A and B are shown apart, each in its own frame.
Chain A
Amino acid sequence: KAGVTQTPRYLIKTRGQQVTLSCSPISGHRSVSWYQQTPGQGLQFLFEYFSETQRNKGNFPGRFSGRQFSNSRSEMNVSTLELGDSALYLCASSLVPPVGGGYTFGSGTRLTVV
């Protein structure tokens, strides 16, 4: 079966712009969560969605937002980009609860802010 699909794979944006990243979960997985990975901070949780509702949010500024659609696909948006937003953004999907296989990650979107 198809895995978690993230698009685009790479992005270069300018400070002050905004960006939208997309994540399509594994078929049947209704929970989607997002993580940011940077060399300095490691892997940090951004937010999690289930049935179009955000159930948990990490410690990130309001410039980071997300949503989930009725087909479980999710998008995250970062507005007013800063240089520090340059990172690998990873999306994960899981069953609810995440028994059996746990969380499965996509290949990520590598965002560079210049």
Chain B
Amino acid sequence: GIQVEQSPPDLILQEGANSTLRCNFSDSVNNLQWFHQNPWGQLINLFYIPSGTKQNGRLSATTVATERYSLLYISSSQTTDSGVYFCAVDGSNYKLTFGKGTLLTVNP
């Protein structure tokens, strides 16, 4: 099956700093999503981005499908950005395969 690798596994920032999270995947995909898991466990959908670039406020994402990677950019980070960020891909077999996540801690 498809392998998904996320880096870095942990990231500690000061409020106001920028960061880049990376997701590599091993095969072509129909769907790629970035999620933020809140403290209560819910996966909040940040981006549906099988290819191209999207922006939503301080967050943006880019997927280069031909090179099998995606990047999530967080600018001017806030303490509320803390949590685990997951990349997940769907290789056309009706399931998402998740990476192990990046634990982001933003300190005030």
- Taking beta carbons and an 8 Å cutoff, which residues of A are in contact with B? 31, 33, 35, 37, 42-43, 45, 48, 50, 55-56, 58, 88, 90, 92, 97-98, 100-108, 110
Contacts and interface: CB of A to CB of B under 8 A. Distances in A.
Q: Interface size class for chain B?
A: 20 to 34
Contacts, number: 60
A3 B42 CA distance: 12
Contact of A102 (B41, B48, B98): B48
B95 A58 contact: yes
Given A42-B101, A97-B30, A100-B48, A105 B94 contact: no
A104 B101 contact: no
A107 B40 CA distance: 8
A104 B42 contact: no
B90 A98 contact: yes
